[in-house]
């Protein structure tokens, strides 16, 4: 289990995150939504210990991540950042093997190779393993970066806008892959801009606004017209779509509050 307990984070005298409380259990796909500048990426960086909270704590199975060695953090939490750019001519296999760094003592062994190959197969990148990373499309690159995170074998997988700049087909492929990782027992926490994709895929959603969680729960509890108005400053119609058994958020164009 991952728990963020009463976390505050300040930067240059400004409070970016305020009293954040979040719980994610094994097998859950948690979505974090909110407008630009609401603190979503900052929250993920606190969870993975890139940033240190001013107060509060991030706990994994009741262990404070701030007291862990970086190698142990990497064994517990993996992160797929937004807008990853790799300009060195590594092969796909080389990139995915980097996910085994926390475990490798000297050189990789047969178990490491097996885990890397399994991660590539799960992400449909095995056939690309000898290709240079610089030769991939955006969707292929994103799957490789997720394969690297899966090769890390973390208990918690964080993703910051994993579908940004991808077409709808690649968005669905990536989110199906992430959902499957959660179904198999991983804790998955993803920042997602598309409210409709968050509604469809996420077990629970946290809505951030000005560094605070203003709503949490399932999609029906969080994606209400009043919550959307408060967070995004727009009017929206929320439809219960029977064909997808999910909510559909439709902004009322031209109407601002």
- Which two structure tokens, joined as six digits, stand for 227? 């919550």
Give pLDDT, residue 168.
Answer: 92
CA angle at 74 for the pair 162 and 82, rounded to the nearest 5°: 20
Nearest CA to 3 out of 23, 30, 20, 17 is that of 23
CA angle at 80 for the pair 89 and 92, rounded to the nearest 5°: 25
Give pLDDT, residue 154.
Answer: 94
Strands 63-64, 55-60: pairing is antiparallel
- Which two structure tokens, joined as six digits, stand for 73? 């953090």
Neighbouring CB atoms inside 10 A of 92's CB total: 25
pTM higher than the cut 0.85: yes
- pLDDT tens profile 145-179: 999 999 999 999 999 999 888 899 989 999 999 99
Give pLDDT, residue 166.
Answer: 87
Low-confidence ranges of the chain (pLDDT < 70): 83, 255-257
Nearest CA to 40 out of 65, 62, 9 is that of 9
Rounded Cα distance between 204 and 13, Å, is: 32
Give pLDDT, residue 208.
Answer: 98
Q: Say which DSSP state 91 is in.
A: B
Instruction: Parse the chain into domains and list their residue ranges.
Output: 2-256
Give pLDDT, residue 257.
Answer: 53
CATH number 3.40.50.300 is the correct assignment for the domain at 2-256: yes
Give pLDDT, residue 255.
Answer: 55
Coil, strand, or helix at residue 228?
A: helix
Give pLDDT, residue 51.
Answer: 94
Give pLDDT, residue 89.
Answer: 87
């Amino acid at each position: 289990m991952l728990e963020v307990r009463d976390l505050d984070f300040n930067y240059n005298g400004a409070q970016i995150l305020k009293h954040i409380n979040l719980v994610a259990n094994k097998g859950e796909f948690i979505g974090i939504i909110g407008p630009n500048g609401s603190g979503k990426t900052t929250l993920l960086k606190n969870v993975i210990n890139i940033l240190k909270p001013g107060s509060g704590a991030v706990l994994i199975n009741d262990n404070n991540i701030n007291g862990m060695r970086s190698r142990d953090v990497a064994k517990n939490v993996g992160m797929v950042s937004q807008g990853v750019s790799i300009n060195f001519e590594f092969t796909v296999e080389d990139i995915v093997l980097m996910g085994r760094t926390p475990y490798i003592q000297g050189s990789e062994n047969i178990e490491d190779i097996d885990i890397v190959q399994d991660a590539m197969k799960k992400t449909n990148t095995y056939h690309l393993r000898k290709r240079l990373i610089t030769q991939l499309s955006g969707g292929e690159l994103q799957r490789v970066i997720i394969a690297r995170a899966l090769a890390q074998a973390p208990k918690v997988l964080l993703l910051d806008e994993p579908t940004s700049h991808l077409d709808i087909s690649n968005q669905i492929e990536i989110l199906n892959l992430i959902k499957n990782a959660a179904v198999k027992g991983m804790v998955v926490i993803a920042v997602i801009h598309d409210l409709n994709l968050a509604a469809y895929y996420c077990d629970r959603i946290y809505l951030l606004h000005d560094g605070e969680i203003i709503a949490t729960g399932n999609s029906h509890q969080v994606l209400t017209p009043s919550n959307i108005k408060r967070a995004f400053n727009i009017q929206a119609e929320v439809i219960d779509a029977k064909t997808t058994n999910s909510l559909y958020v439709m902004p009322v164009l031209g109407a601002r509050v």
